[in-house]
């Protein structure tokens, strides 16, 4: 993998921040876009812009074909057998909400249990809390252990005949923990529960095979994997998607409409009401092509090397506390940390002044931060275009910040 060459494909990596070269380590929040994705947006609006699925003219046919090409690419990327089972949403959050509304509201009743984990992003907690209030569904959580992994030993107690859904992240955005997806899916299936995997932090970084996972639903966002903002994916098994109620009502999701009723359209259109985000769906295609061309195994290997380098350097800093699994095989390219006695926002600001972009705060995981007994952390997260030199620049900037804030008080 030629990182130097890859970097040339990302125009933003040339910019300076506060007079220093940008070191972009906030990839778990969103990733930068290669030229091919930016060009695809311009190309679409300059040459093919039209509404989809209803025109009888050339441009509409072209736009429709381009969206469907992206859908097919997304299906191939996750080894999904049918592109029709790939629903385009706004983001993974909407994908998770789609399942809560379309499946949860229809099939869950009072006393049914939904099993989540303590690692979840707010987007995989709040939709279920809303459903719990509405339907009397009971929420349970797989506990997180001090090293950031899940306490899977608790599964036999947590999974019962009442468990109707197990919804969990494949990789923690806050700590980087990689979750043994197949193991949880198998355990859930054994009690007849439906499974939903939040793959937002997995799909961009590791090969994803929905058939191997065996899950019923998988959700992720395009913008975390080189694609544009405003496009997410919900993949689901056909029999589940067919049995669900529509999410939003309107154009495109119907077959026939009378004044008092409607019939729903076939997949995927049943869940794509109204004019979709056409241009961004089109530009998601080249993002997937780019990742496929580089290869997910090579990307994973590169991120492991960067993460190892960062972890080893931070381990040598007595003032720095690192969270998450020490075993790199159980960790994605995320390094969450704190400087003792310092608030992560001060650390984040000091790093920003050196051109190093990290995330600081609760990472939309307030319950997890409570469990770790910290208000938040600073987080560096890596991607295919990051270099070893950038890891060193990050560590150097952090050392500088520690020295600045920890210098002896003014006499």
- Given the rule CB under 8 A, which residues bind another protein? 18-20, 342-346, 349-350, 353-355, 360-362, 366, 369, 375-376, 401, 404-405, 409-410
* DSSP secondary structure of 39-58: HHHHHIIIII---SSS--SH
Rank residues 83 and 355 by Cβ distance to another protein and give the closer one: 355
Rank residues 189 and 343 by Cβ distance to another protein and give the closer one: 343
Rank residues 70 and 123 by Cβ distance to another protein and give the closer one: 123
Give the shortest CB-136-to-another protein separation in angstroms. Answer: 28
Give the shortest CB-129-to-another protein separation in angstroms. Answer: 16
**H-helix or E-strand containing 334?**
strand 334-339
Task: Confirm if 135 and 108 have CB atoms less than 8 A apart.
Answer: yes
Annotate 204-221 with b (16+ C-beta within 10 A) or e (fewer): bbbbbebeebbbbbbbbb
Structure token digits, residue 172:
């923690």
Give the shortest CB-232-to-another protein separation in angstroms. Answer: 23
SS3 call for 215: coil
Q: What is the DSSP letter of 139?
A: E
Rg (C-alpha) for the chain, rounded Å, is 22
Give the shortest CB-233-to-another protein separation in angstroms. Answer: 28
Structure token digits, residue 157:
């107690």
**Selected catalytic residue, list 85, 364, 365, 374:** 364
Rank residues 289 and 354 by Cβ distance to another protein and give the closer one: 354
Q: Is 85 designated active site? A: no
Strands 163-169, 194-198: pairing is parallel
Give the shortest CB-334-to-another protein separation in angstroms. Answer: 19
Per 3-state DSSP, the chain is made up of helix, strand and coil in percentages (nearest 5) of 45, 20, 35
Rank residues 5 and 410 by Cβ distance to another protein and give the closer one: 410
Which residues are catalytically annotated? Answer: 364
């Amino acid at each position: 993998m030629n990182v130097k060459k890859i970097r040339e494909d990302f125009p933003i990596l040339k910019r300076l921040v506060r007079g220093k070269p940008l070191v972009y380590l906030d990839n778990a929040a969103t990733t930068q876009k290669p030229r091919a994705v930016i060009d695809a947006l311009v190309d679409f609006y300059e040459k093919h812009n039209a509404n989809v699925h209803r025109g009888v003219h050339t441009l509409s046919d072209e736009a429709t074909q381009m969206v469907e090409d992206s859908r097919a690419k997304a299906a191939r990327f996750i080894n999904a057998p049918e592109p029709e089972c790939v629903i385009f949403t706004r983001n993974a959050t909407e994908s998770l909400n789609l399942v809560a509304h379309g499946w949860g509201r229809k099939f869950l009743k009072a006393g049914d249990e939904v099993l989540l984990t303590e690692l979840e992003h707010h987007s995989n907690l709040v939709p279920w809390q809303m459903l719990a209030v509405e339907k009397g569904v009971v929420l349970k959580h797989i506990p997180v252990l001090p090293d950031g992994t899940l306490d899977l030993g608790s599964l036999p107690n947590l999974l019962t005949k009442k468990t109707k859904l197990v919804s969990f992240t494949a990789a923690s955005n806050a700590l980087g923990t990689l979750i043994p997806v197949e193991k949880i899916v198998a355990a859930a299936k054994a009690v007849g529960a439906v499974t939903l995997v939040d793959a937002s932090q997995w799909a961009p970084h590791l090969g994803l095979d929905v058939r191997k996972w065996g899950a019923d639903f998988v959700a992720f966002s395009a913008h975390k994997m080189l694609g544009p903002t405003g496009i997410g994916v919900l993949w689901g098994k056909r029999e589940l998607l067919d049995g669900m109620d529509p999410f939003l009502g309107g154009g495109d999701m119907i077959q026939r409409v009378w004044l008092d009723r409607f019939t729903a359209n076939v997949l995927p259109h049943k869940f794509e009401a109204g004019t979709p985000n056409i241009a961004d769906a089109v530009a998601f295609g080249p993002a997937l092509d780019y990742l496929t061309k580089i290869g997910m195994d090579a990307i994973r290997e590169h991120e492991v090397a960067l993460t190892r380098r960062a972890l080893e350097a931070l381990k040598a800093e007595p003032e720095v506390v690192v969270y998450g699994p020490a075993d790199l095989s159980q960790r994605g390219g995320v390094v969450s940390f704190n400087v003792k006695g310092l608030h992560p926002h001060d650390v984040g600001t000091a790093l920003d002044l050196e051109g190093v972009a990290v995330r600081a705060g609760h990472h939309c995981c307030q319950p997890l931060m409570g469990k770790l007994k910290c208000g938040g952390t600073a987080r560096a997260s890596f991607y295919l275009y990051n270099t070893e030199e950038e890891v060193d620049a990050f560590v150097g900037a952090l050392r500088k910040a520690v020295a600045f804030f920890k210098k002896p008080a003014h006499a």
